[in-house]
Amino acid sequence: MNSGRVNRSQDTVDLLAVGETMIVLVPDPIGPLRTAASFSSSVTGAESTVARYAARLGMTSAWCGGVGDDPFGARVLAELAADGIDVSTVRVSAASTGVFFKDPGPAGTRVRYYRKGSAGSEVNRRWWESLGELCPRVTHLTGITAALSEGALDFLRFGLETRPIPNTVYSFDVNYRPGLWGVSEAAPMLRELADNADIVFVGLDEARELWRVAEPIEVRELLDGPQIVVVRDAANGAHVFAGRERAFAPALSVDVVEPVGAGDAFVAGFLWAWDSGLGLAEQLAAGHIVAAVALRSSADVAPFDGQTLELLSELAGEVVR
């Protein structure tokens, strides 16, 4: 497990993730938001979660996003740096750091966002100039960014269409968030963005909602641009399509404590295995192993236990630190 800060004297980082990281507040004790008298809080964001799990796997990781010149922004930077994440390209803004609240209820947990005009929404195509200095082997993006602002959408489109960072593989997680935009607007845009990436991750449930497809192979047929398409089918497992090759790996059976963050953990595990040169089945297996860590914990980024390290070591053929 990598616990030190990334050494910036290195010529490259293994993984760069770009997107908004926020503070989430949860009623404590758990209950409806309208009756909550106190809250617990933590740092969270899809892209930075991928970077944090990747760092735990021994990858040198960087995260870039916008944070406010405020206590929440300072907390984001401090916690990510403590996890060994390079935050040298993060933009500090006069705008506020985004926050959101979880609203647990009998029908499930809803999310209440307070992020309009946030520092994270200020991302734009000019940011690519500084990101290239990191020389990442993998650049990870998500569809969440597309819904934040016109400038943020332009950042994604420009990056995936023009490839401003040479010699990097562009990874894209569709990550559709209904609370940010509707299907009619999101569906064509997320398909366009995904089709311009090299590695794409999408849940079968969200693919059905967005594009009215029924089976994993239909997702691959819809997205024929990427080199690799990974379709996660919840507790059933995950499919990967790479050229004429394909593989399936069942999900691990775990007692679920909190599903939030498991998709990002899966992405980190998959990208680590891909970057390590493992085969398709092993890439899926690594994704499931790291996702299981997230599922078994209420923490935003959970530590690895001995069993997890052993499983990953068996895949890689060496001990994961």
Catalytic residues: 264
The 8 Å CB, 24+ separation contacts for 204-209 are 204/231, 204/232, 204/233, 204/234, 205/234, 206/174, 206/175, 206/176, 207/174, 207/231, 209/176, 209/183
What span, in angstroms and rounded, lies between the C-alpha atoms of 306 and 286?
A: 15
What span, in angstroms and rounded, lies between the C-alpha atoms of 41 and 43?
A: 7
17 and 47 Cβ atoms separated by less than 8 Å: yes
Beta bridge partner(s), residue 233:
237
Pairing of strands 85-86, 61-64: parallel
N- to C-terminal Cα separation, the chain = 4
Residue 14 DSSP class: S
320 and 311 Cβ atoms separated by less than 8 Å: no
Strand segments (E) across 132-256: 138-142, 169-173, 199-203, 228-233, 237-242, 245-250
